[in-house]
Chain A
Amino acid sequence: DVKVTQSSRYLVKRTGEKVFLECVQDMDHENMFWYRQDPGLGLRLIYFSYDVKMKEKGDIPEGYSVSREKKERFSLILESASTNQTSMYLCASSLRQKAFFGQGTRLTVV
């Protein structure tokens, strides 16, 4: 089975902090994604990557950046955390269209 692992289940950070969310997949998938999930809004795409060192903006990239130095690892960076970035963050990987998700990181910015 595909395994997508996010480094933290819960995080609490202060406003203005730089935050790193890490994601690792073990299936040699080319594509990796970061979504945020908020009540009533479903999953919204922040950034995605088709290959190492490649990244593309999704629907809501403002306030975020990403890094993909190795194929199996895709990091989401909040340059200066704000309270409106309090959310559930979901990482996914896919070979083609079928995406597999990690367990999510619930981030609270105080």
Chain B
Amino acid sequence: GESVGLHLPTLSVQEGDNSIINCAYSNSASDYFIWYKQESGKGPQFIIDIRSNMDKRQGQRVTVLLNKTVKHLSLQIAATQPGDSAVYFCAENIGDYKLSFGAGTTVTVRA
């Protein structure tokens, strides 16, 4: 079936560097995408979302890029901080307000 997936299960980043987390999706009809951050022992926390009529959206220190041609989604975190260490999930709307999630990328920030 169609699903959302992340390219890499882990990412190690030097503090202060920029992080890029990638996600590939296969449902070309998806019209909404969302990134979540999950810290250890907590539930997923909303970071940023984007609709399919946009290519880019910026938040505070984060940017989401959407490439519909190759069905690719990425989350960029500027000036990565220790507090950014977490598991990051992308999700796509698969209809009827349901979200389909990838397996997640664990980001570790090195001091």
A interface residues, Cβ below 8 angstroms from B? 4, 31, 33, 35, 40-45, 48, 50, 58, 90, 94, 96-104
Contacts and interface: CB of A to CB of B under 8 A. Distances in A.
Contact of A90 (B44, B97, B98, B104): B44
A96 B97 contact: yes
B101 interface: yes
Contacts of A100: 46
Contacts of B89: 42-43
A5 B93 CA distance: 23
A96 B93 CA distance: 10
Contacts of A90: 43-44
Contacts of B91: 43
Q: Which 10 A-B pairs have the closest CB atoms?
A: A101-B43, A43-B101, A42-B103, A42-B101, A101-B44, A97-B32, A103-B43, A97-B93, A104-B43, A102-B43
